[in-house]
Structure 1
Amino acid sequence: MLRMRASEIAQAVGGVLHGEDAVVTGSVETDSRLVTPGGAFFAMPGEVTDGHRFVDAALAAGAALVVAERPLEQDVPHVVVADGVVALGALAAEVIRRVRAAGELTVIGVTGSNGKTTTKNMLQAILEEHGPTVSPVKSFNNEVGAPMTMLRIDEATRFLVLEMGASVVGDIARLTAMAHPDLGVVLKVGLAHAGAFGGVEATTRAKTEMVQDLGEHHVAVLNRDDERVRGMAAATRARIAWFGTEPGPADEPTTLWASDVESTLEGTLATIHRGDESWPLRLRILGEHHVMNALAALTVADALGLDLERAIAALGTMPRAERWRMELLEPGGGITVINDAYNASPDSMAAALRSLAHMTRQAARRSVAVLGEMGELGPLSAEEHDRVGRLAVRVRIDRLVVVGTGAKAIHDAAELESSFGQDTVWVEDAEQAEALLRSSLEPGDVVLVKSSLSAGLKDLGDRIGGV
């Protein structure tokens, strides 16, 4: 973070400073275990514990300042605020304002029901070749995680890439008001978190917030293949840069588009087009759906005036999308495991199953799908899990292992769809699934492990994958 005095931080967050006007020279943290000398610690109440309990630990680690929601007994410089989360966002906004004034900061915001983290990582790989780049750790994209990413920048930062997630309508608007993105990327509107939002139309309204406040000198990077994202063009004053799988109309062509998409166990191939030019794309990342994420990242690079061929080459160096996202593991014995159990929605589940089916047919290997629950679907849950089971049959997955009560509809639907019943099994938990897999996997099998994080299958994928 920028070097700031405690009095400046108090003014930025609307708080009251107690104690001396200390200077903060380190990072801002909400976890006392991550505090470093000269840093600031935000003590905030949480769902599990209260950050105020860990003030002493933060001070022992060298915190120069504490931001708290009540006066502290410790004799330490601290700023008292009404709401720690609001204060964190206010400080992030001030830091971005100062860095913009002092340097050449470009802010890129990324949202969508699927693909945010992969696209963020792709942008990091492209942009870091052109200047100091800051992007989120893991999937820090909410009202706490996004400001924490913003607070990592300093005067030298050239690019700031932000994931912007939402639990309710209005969340993305609050994040964009902090960061004021120069480019806003919308990947897809799907059923991820639809239960929390109350339906896909509310999800659409939430994702539209990314582009609504962009000005005429900004760029909205939009997925032309998604009907709901396509409609966002009418909600923004920004210049539109389209990406997709078709060249688009002559009067408003797609900026970048892909053809000849092919998914293999060695990676993903496509041809990238811009006008009359074309380049081969070779990703080491598995799954043809990642071509759309690559297109989004490359469209940002193109809008920034960066060399497209160099950007494509940067994507080719990425070993994986992210930990537990279509992560290829080779445990030995001729078995391949694809661990994709960090997140799951109906769209990403369908994409992963189609990729598994295509890759294994091409390689003449047996496909095994180990599927758990997709979370946060609300009243759509039974229908969408049923749909996944039927899709597994239709794309001809060879063996289906369904794990957990919340996912049982996948197994039930697969049994009903055809005579697939003898090739599908339901088990109660990951331990039973592991025992079944270890006794039945054969050399040459390709195993996809896919679920929401809450289903707890990522560790199963690691164990089967030999990690």
Structure 2
Amino acid sequence: MRFRASQVAIAVGGELVGDDVWLDGATQDSREVASGSLFVPLLAERDGHEFVEAAMSAGAGAHLTARDPGSGTAVRVADTGAALLALGAAARDSLDGPVVGITGSVGKTSVKDLTRAVLARVGPVHASERSFNNEIGMPLTLLNAPAHGPVVVELGARHVGDIASLCGVARPDVGVLTTVAVAHTGEFGSLDAVTRTKGELFDALPSDGCAVYNADVSAVVEQAGRARSQRLSFGDAGEVRARDVTVDDDLRASFRLESPWGRIDVRLAVHGAHMVPNALAAAAVGLVLDVPLAEVAAGLAEGPASAWRMALGTAPSGLRVLNDAYNANPASTSAALEALAALPVDGRRVAVLGLMAELGDLAVEEHLAVAARVAELGIELMAVGTDLYGVEPLADVEAAGAALDLGGTDAVLVKGSRVAGLEVLAESLLEG
């Protein structure tokens, strides 16, 4: 999205210092500056103001600042984080296409990827990069979107009220609630608080919008009642549903998609039977936004996955590696274990699991429950960096790599929260 520095100053209530230059997009990372973009220094582990000079040297056209503006064009504000949210809201005002907001304890990024693939069948679409789902990534997604066409954003939360706050900026026309499960309960305190927070999305939808929700999860159905908009359900009990589901040797699901718009055969590009509900959610969004049924099926057949999310590869030795190392909670880990168990291999199946973070008082119980499920499925368990699974852990990724002794007839799942950094292990296993 293109905008002038003076428009930035007006949107954020700041002071323009320097020339009224044209800007194109924004970033908070000085390493990702594009020519003519706006650099937004934020307070994190380090003060982003330390990188203003590097960002401007890399080609940024201007920067926000809560310090001395220095050289070049700047917009001086009291709080750069608050200014970013205000600027995201202003960017939303400039969009002429629908905004799709996606939340849920599991599946946000997968549904986003599949929704983008479906909508892209009929025209340009912009979606959040990586897992940009918070008060930083979501407004940046809006700022980097073109003015025309649909925009798909993820909405994450760690506290009650977070979804409402993000929706105040994104103002979604279509809202998707994938499911609710034990995740981030360390911050929320209870699953009920998680559920009510996710439901804030439905409060925010306009009367001419649409709430897309999982009909197979009673708590989600209850939250959908908060919407004053049209509603569309997906799942086995939903209006958009999958019948005759089969899964091939590469864990790709095929099914007959049934909906109020008709029925059609679908074969997914992504891996895992648990991706079927995610595909149904994306299909529902596409159908609501007038994507023809045949194009919905074609988009689902093309839909790529984000990095380190249920990526199935084969090492030179023949070892099958299921890299789902981007993040982990009990529900997503259980789904990944089911996928590993379904892989047709003649040798061993090994799950290399890192910490499932942010579970609070439920951490011990949930890790042990996952360990029990591993045993039920006949999978070998290797824990990395945590003893919560009830087995002697390996200290780190390097130790795990040295301890693994896998051959060409084996399969391995690598999964953990971001803090575990297990994607390095998965990539090294694939390289052989």
* TM-score between both structures, scaled by the size of structure 1: 0.88
What is residue 453 of structure 1 aligned with on the other side?
A: 418
- Alignment partner of 1:110 is 2:102: yes
> Matched residues in 1 for 2:288 and 2:319: separation?
42
| Aligned with residue 136 of structure 2, among 109, 134, 144 | 144
The question of whether the paired residues in 1 share the 8 Å contact of 2:261 and 2:293 is answered with: no
Q: How many Å apart are 1:162 and its aligned residue? A: 0.2
Residues 1:372 and 2:349 are matched in the alignment: no
Instruction: Work out whether 1:187 is the aligned partner of 2:171.
Output: no
- Pair 1:429 & 2:425 matched: no
Structure 2 residues not aligned, in runs of 5+: none
Q: Which structure 1 residue ranges, 5 or more long, are not aligned?
A: 247-253, 413-424
SS of 2:388's partner is: helix
Deviation, structure 1 residue 365: 4.8
1:80 corresponds to which of 69, 73, 76: 76
Distance 1:195 1:261 in 2: 36
1:256 to 237, 240, 245: 240
Q: Shift of the alpha carbon at 1:17?
A: 2.0
Does residue 289 of structure 2 align to residue 304 of structure 1? yes
2:365 equivalent in structure 1: 383
Which has the larger displacement, 280-289 or 62-71? 62-71
Match of 1:119 in 2: 111
Give the deviation of 1:65 after TM superposition.
Answer: 2.0
Aligned: 1:409 with 2:388: yes
Residue 269 of structure 1: SS of its match in structure 2?
Answer: strand
Q: Which runs of 4+ in 1 moved over 6 A?
A: none
Residue 275 (structure 1) shift: 4.8
Q: 1:38 to 1:450 in 2, by over 3 A?
A: closer
1:444 to 409, 412, 415: 409
Q: Tell me the residue number matched to 1:93.
A: 89
One-letter identity of the residue aligned with 1:81: V
What secondary structure sits across from 1:166 in the alignment?
coil
SS of the residue aligned with 2:233?
strand
Tell me the distance in 2 between the aligned counterparts of 1:54 and 1:283.
42
Per-residue displacement from partner, 1:67-96 (whole Å, max 9, x unpaired)? 111232x24332111111111111111122
Contact 2:119/2:299 (CA < 8 Å) preserved in 1?
A: no
SS of the counterpart of 2:24?
coil
Q: Secondary structure at the match of 2:343?
A: helix
The separation in 1 between residues aligned to 2:388 and 2:51, in whole angstroms, is 44
CA contact (8 A) 1:263 1:286 kept: no
CA contact (8 A) 1:329 1:466 kept: no
Verify the 8 A CA contact 1:99 1:154 in the aligned structure 2.
yes
Amino acid at match of 1:3: F
Kept in 1, the 8 Å contact 2:23–2:62? The answer is no
- 181 and 350 in structure 1: CA distance in 2 versus 1, 3 angstrom threshold: same
The answer to whether the 8 Å contact 1:44/1:69 transfers is no
1:44–1:68 Cα contact (<8 Å) kept: no
Structure 1 pair 64/400, CA: closer, same or farther in 2 (3 Å)? closer
CA deviation map 1:86-117 (0-9, x unaligned): 111111111221233xxxx1100000111111
**Residue of structure 2 equivalent to 1:199:** 190
Matched, 1:462 2:427: yes
The alignment's C-alpha RMSD in Å is 1.8
Q: 1:49 aligns with which of 40, 46, 52?
A: 46
Q: Say which one has the larger Rg.
A: 1
Classify 1:258/1:364 alpha carbon distance in 2 versus 1 (closer, same or farther; 3 Å): farther
Question: Displacement, 1:284?
Answer: 2.6
Give the TM-score normalised by the residue count of structure 2. Answer: 0.95
Quote how far apart the aligned CAs of 1:276 are. 9.1
Counterpart secondary structure, 1:108? strand
Q: Which amino acid aligns with 1:344?
A: A
AA at the equivalent of 1:339: N
Q: Count how many residue pairs are aligned between Structure 1 and Structure 2.
A: 431
Sort the Cα spacing of 1:256 and 1:206 in 2 relative to 1 into closer, same or farther, 3 A.
same
Sequence identity, in percent? 39
| TM superposition shift of 1:348 | 0.6
Residue type of the alignment partner of 2:278: N
CA-CA distance at 1:38 after TM superposition:
2.5
1:293 equivalenced with 2:278 (yes/no): yes
Matched residues in 2 for 1:36 and 1:389: separation?
45
1:329–1:336: 8 Å Cα contact kept in structure 2?
yes
**Distance in 1 separating the partners of 2:195 and 2:127:** 25
One-letter code aligned to 2:328: A
Q: Does 1:237 align with 2:228?
A: yes
Change (3 A) 1:276 1:124: closer
CA contact (8 A) 1:119 1:297 kept: yes
Kept after mapping to 1: 8 A contact 2:103/2:198 = yes
